[in-house]
Structure 1
Amino acid sequence: MRDETALRSFVEDMSRLLGDWGFPRMAGRVVFTLMAADERSLSAGELAERLDVSPAAISGAVRYLTQLSMVTREHVPGSRRDRYRLVDDSWYEVTVAKMTLLKTLADAAAQGAAAAGGRDTIAGERLAGMSDFYNWVQDNLPAMLERWAELKAAAARGDQGANR
């Protein structure tokens, strides 16, 4: 049985958690409201009503989420209204889209390490370690994402042996 009070608390808790990591709080509230909705899409008015905020606050949040490719806007035929829905596998898609950021971080940290005098200095070693980490993540993340796709496909086929 659906517990609306618990779901509202979940939305707020998750948006605070993401906010602690630098994710805009209202965008977090919108994305988790969409995730917790039984409907496939919601209008800006429905989002504003569920979150008890202004439509303007929703507008900025969905614009941000659209830029991240987490939310898509769907025009309602014969209307001037739009509806917003989560992109299928939005967390997966955002992770794939941000893979280039890993290379950028690794390269920038390597440049910082060189500027700090290389691994023979305390700062250089710290920065080189950061570069090593992001290079490792970039090298290993594709295999993890591929495994995730395999698990999802197995689950969609109803394979009970799909090991998560």
Structure 2
Amino acid sequence: MPGSRLTRRDRRVIADGLADGRGYAEIARRLARPTSTVSREVARNGGRAGYAPDAAHQAAKRRAHHRKPAAIPPAETARTVEQHLAVALIGTGLPRMAGRVLAALLAADASGMSAAELVRHLRVSPASISKSVRYLETEGLLRRERNAKNRAERYEVGPDAWFQAFLASAQRNHRLADAARRGSARLGRSTPAGARLHALSRFHQQLTDDIVERARHWRFVLADSAEAVRRG
């Protein structure tokens, strides 16, 4: 098959063709291969007079075993990481553009990016960046840093970004729990609707409190680990 590696049988066909005095083009037609494939194969393995199919096949296997995989350009690797990260973030419920902005900031080597840099990097309009940045700031996932020299603003994912995002989510859950608790009180917990709302309130209140407590714990644990790494 054109493009695939030569098999042991292919190499024996080549050897037979050489023994019969056939040209490379004729042998290549028999194999449905480019003529250059046959000519390179023969030249690499002793030439027309010294070609041995079994030895050539073993040599090809050794080359394939030791061949290093092609290096992936760093820029391509970073772009792939960013794209996969954006898909995952959008899957958590982030708006599509906000997920792309956050992924770009997370995958960048720089500590932050300006609005103009985000526009160029993501190839979108300034309005799209502005809207997404405001959303991410509201969620506690983004912070603005102003350059003292030129007063230009850069957007960064702060060290407490995920903790702040958990707190923002917790506040929404608490509001839902409070609304359900007030509704239960008005309807009466003895009624089906009141009992349902009471259960909803307790669930959200307790679960949210537990999550926030664990988030505070891991915030300090990870901060201590990061500090230890910096100190070496």
TM-score (norm 1): 0.77
Structure 1 or 2, whichever has the larger Rg, is: 2
Q: Which runs of 5+ in 1 are unaligned?
A: 160-164
Q: 1:99 maps to what in 2? A: 170
Q: 2:226 maps to what in 1? A: 156
1:158 Cα deviation from its structure 2 partner? 4.3
1:1-164 to 2 correspondence within 5 Å? 2=74, 3-18=77-92, 21=93, 23-79=94-150, 81-121=152-192, 123-156=193-226, 158=228
**Larger displacement relative to structure 2 (123-132 or 1-10):** 1-10
* SS at structure 1 position matched to 2:135: helix
Are 1:69 and 1:93, in contact at CA under 8 Å, matched by a contact in 2? yes
* SS at structure 2 position matched to 1:83: strand
Q: 1:158 to 1:8 in 2, by over 3 A?
A: closer
Are 1:14 and 1:32, in contact at CA under 8 Å, matched by a contact in 2? no
Q: Tell me the distance in 1 between the aligned counterparts of 2:104 and 2:123.
A: 12
Q: Tell me the distance in 2 between the aligned counterparts of 1:73 and 1:158.
A: 27
Post-superposition CA distance 1:84-110 (Å, at most 9, x none)? 111212011222344333332111112
Q: Tell me the distance in 1 between the aligned counterparts of 2:112 and 2:143.
A: 9
Q: Tell me the distance in 2 between the aligned counterparts of 1:154 and 1:72.
A: 22
Q: Which runs of 5+ in 2 are unaligned?
A: 1-71
**Larger displacement relative to structure 2 (58-67 or 135-144):** 135-144
Of structures 1 and 2, the one scoring higher in RCO (CA 8 A, sep 6+) is 1
Post-superposition CA distance 1:9-36 (Å, at most 9, x none)? 2143124313xx3x32211211121111
TM-score (norm 2): 0.57
Q: Tell me the distance in 1 between the aligned counterparts of 2:138 and 2:99.
A: 14
Post-superposition CA distance 1:29-87 (Å, at most 9, x none)? 11121111111011112211221211221111112222333212222344363211112
Are 2:180 and 2:198, in contact at CA under 8 Å, matched by a contact in 1? yes
Post-superposition CA distance 1:137-164 (Å, at most 9, x none)? 24323431232134214423549xxxxx
Are 1:15 and 1:26, in contact at CA under 8 Å, matched by a contact in 2? no
Q: Tell me the distance in 2 between the aligned counterparts of 1:15 and 1:143.
A: 24
Q: Tell me the distance in 1 between the aligned counterparts of 2:211 and 2:82.
A: 33
Q: 1:62 to 1:117 in 2, by over 3 A?
A: same
Counterpart of 1:131, as a letter, is S
